A and B are shown apart, each in its own frame.
Chain A
Amino acid sequence: MLGRVFGRKRRKVVVLGLDGVPCTLLERFAAEGVMPNVAGLIEEGTLCSMTASVPEVSSTSWSCFMTGVNPGRHGIYGFMEIDRNSYSWRFPNFNDLRSRTLWETAGEHGKRSIVVNVPSTYPARPLNGMLVSGFVALDLRKASYPDTMYRYLSSAGYRLDVDAGLALESLDDFTGDIIETFRKRVEVIRHLYDSEEWDLFIAAVTETDRLHHYLWDALDDETHPQHGFFTDFYRELDSFIGDLYGRTGSDTPFIMMSDHGFTAIKREVYLNAYLREKGYLSFDAEEPKSFEVMNKGSRAFVLDPSRVYIHLKGRFSGGCVEEDEYEDLRNAIKEDLLSLEIEGERVVRSIFFKEDLYSGELLADAPDLVVLPFEGFDLKGSVTKTELCGRGPLTGGHTREDAVFFINRPAACDSPDIVDAGVTVLKMLGIETDGLDGKALA
């Protein structure tokens, strides 16, 4: 307050999230002239290839960013879990996040935040500022805080997300929906940026991820009907980035980041089918739809995308694996998964035990093993698939590596991890970051 009275400049930070944008793609489009504004930014600041969370899904990665801690502390290991008693699906949401967000910490220091479309922030929770939730937000009212935000967004015709289901019906309609949603989001971001008081401004663009999932094959295939759209969309994104940076200026820390990279999918691999084949998993129904019909003698199962859970006694109500069998079983599953080959190609690049990846009071909730594939293999935890591999409508899948971290000033690109991005934001705001898992990059 005194700073304001005496005219001292407030420390502000702007973060632009680019969901699912690979660092290599930004570099390429900058070099090819598709993204001239990004090219200018790269010259001015520092662009690093960042490592995302494990698993490399938006809910976990964005939660790591927004808390600056690992999943063993924030508790979000994926988009879905199963209830330990009923084995029914459970979908963790923002209320399940067990660590403070950047904007909650900023709020405790009297700083006001505007947060737009960050995934895994649904339903909206009160903060010192305004927020509209990102994926998987369903209801605009519940996605908005405070009520004035809801009224503004309603009147502006804001769209929570692209209707990705359109991609299965008509790619023209899908791309039309992407651009419409993106333009509306940009309009709202600009309005909030200009009209609100803030210290921390975080906005995420998620249309990139939807585009990549369904049209990654259009990126390099010049004969693809949507090839032109892909690059045109990035031109428009670049124009928005240039516009936003023009408003921000070089004095204010300007961060761009993504939550994972992307690559072409050669094959989807259904890990539960593999566990069934290997005798670790069985179901009591011929066509299972959920784990509610998992045979209680099952010893392991997989939740999307590649989280392996040991069916441990005491952890699950029907668990059958004894504590003293646990290590041998984990090692056996690891060996089996490492040996998995499809058409002579090895599928699994590495497997982590939970203690290799996570630490904290919620470690007990972590998957027992997490699998990372070689590029091109998209691992799935589907319970309905009986075949080992196949192809779906998606042409692009996530990678843990190659996420974006950019800041418009010198930065230490020493193996940056997504938790570091969150810590850097607090540091730039002048807030102590002791006790967080990441390190400040600038």
Chain B
Amino acid sequence: MDMSECVIVVTGLPRSGTSMMMKMLQAGGVEIVTDNVRKADEDNPEGYYEFEKVKRIGEDASWLDEARGKAVKMASMLLYDLPLDRTYKLVFMRRKMDEILASQRKMLERKGTGDEFDDGEMRGLFSRHLAEVESWISRQENMEVLYVDYNEMLLDPLENIRRLKRFLGDDLDEERMAGVVDPSLYRNRKPASAAVKEGDETVDDTGDDEKIKARLRELGYM
């Protein structure tokens, strides 16, 4: 499948790392389709990389003509609406379900709608959806897919970026893409209910840079 002829679709469940992947692709040299209507906030400090028209793709997909060779972000629930007369390369983000749920809960709590969120119910819905959509993708002749694990990406960005390059093409700038994998974005990964215990060194790594600075200062640096 020629990359310049197909649309690159970064997809997955909400909070699965799709924004990070968009930023990585942009850093790697891929043109992205975004309108910046949804601004960066506390939940996605680097921005959302969304394109409003994606949400209405079932009604109007004409913009896809201009998106060939570019990357667009799309929730996996919308994939079914992609027209069959075009070709797509899907980068499908996966992330530990506990982390997705914790991240969503935190985002909804900030918006004041956290009470409506039921972990158990959402887990069931998401799991069923993933099984269905992955099975559906495997039957689509106009789609190629690469599954990228967000957690693995954080642990070993270079290896995962090499997989991406094999999938999307060697022109991607590996080093710049790796630079995007910012540990400080690796947030909200513990369920909100799981309080950090005193003495437990498994702590939320939000603000890693500040902790590193503090540790370095203790040894005379900075």
With A89-B209, A91-B212 in contact, is A213–B201 under 8 Å at CB? no
Distance A140 CA – B204 CA, assembled complex (angstroms): 11
Which of A41-49, A131-139, A185-193, A328-336 contacts its partner? A131-139
With A95-B158, A95-B181, A142-B205 in contact, is A164–B218 under 8 Å at CB? yes
Contact A141 B202 (CB under 8 A): yes
Q: A413 at interface (Cβ–Cβ under 8 A)? A: no
Within residues 45 to 61 of chain A, which ones have a CB less than 8 A from any CB in chain B? Answer: none
- B214 to chain A: which residues have CB within 8 Å? 165
* Chain A interface size, under 10 / 10 to 19 / 20 to 34 / 35 or more: 35 or more
Contact B218 A125 (CB under 8 A): no
Give, as a whole number of angstroms, the nearest-CB distance from B44 to chain A: 18
Contact B201 A135 (CB under 8 A): no
A interface footprint on B35-73 (CB within 8 Å = 1, 0 otherwise) = 000000000000000000000000000000000000000
Q: A378 at interface (Cβ–Cβ under 8 A)? A: yes
With A304-B222, A380-B220 in contact, is A139–B156 under 8 Å at CB? no
Main secondary structure of the interface of B (DSSP, over half): helix
Contact B202 A154 (CB under 8 A): yes
Main secondary structure of the interface of A (DSSP, over half): loop
Q: B213 at interface (Cβ–Cβ under 8 A)? A: yes
A interface footprint on B186-222 (CB within 8 Å = 1, 0 otherwise) = 0000000000000011110100110111111011111
- A268 to chain B: which residues have CB within 8 Å? 220
Contact A304 B208 (CB under 8 A): no
Q: CB-nearest residue of chain A relative to B175?
A: A98
With A80-B222, A213-B219 in contact, is A125–B202 under 8 Å at CB? no
Distance A61 CA – B214 CA, assembled complex (angstroms): 21
Q: B28 at interface (Cβ–Cβ under 8 A)? A: no
Contact B202 A139 (CB under 8 A): yes
- A140 to chain B: which residues have CB within 8 Å? 201-202
Distance A126 CA – B156 CA, assembled complex (angstroms): 8
- B216 to chain A: which residues have CB within 8 Å? 79-80, 136, 304
Q: B25 at interface (Cβ–Cβ under 8 A)? A: no
A interface footprint on B167-179 (CB within 8 Å = 1, 0 otherwise) = 0000000000010
Q: B12 at interface (Cβ–Cβ under 8 A)? A: no
Additional pairs, 12, CB under 8 Å, beyond known A89-B209, A138-B205, A139-B203: A91-B213, A95-B157, A136-B216, A139-B202, A141-B202, A160-B201, A161-B215, A165-B214, A210-B219, A213-B219, A213-B220, A304-B222
16 contacts between A and B (CB under 8 A): A79-B216, A80-B222, A93-B183, A95-B158, A95-B181, A123-B154, A125-B155, A135-B215, A136-B212, A154-B202, A164-B219, A165-B218, A213-B220, A304-B216, A304-B221, A392-B220
Taking beta carbons and an 8 Å cutoff, which residues of B are in contact with A? Answer: 154-158, 178, 181, 183, 200-203, 205, 208-209, 211-216, 218-222
Taking beta carbons and an 8 Å cutoff, which residues of A are in contact with B? Answer: 79-80, 89, 91, 93, 95, 123-126, 135-136, 138-142, 154, 159-161, 164-165, 167, 209-210, 213, 268, 304-305, 378, 380, 382, 392, 394, 397
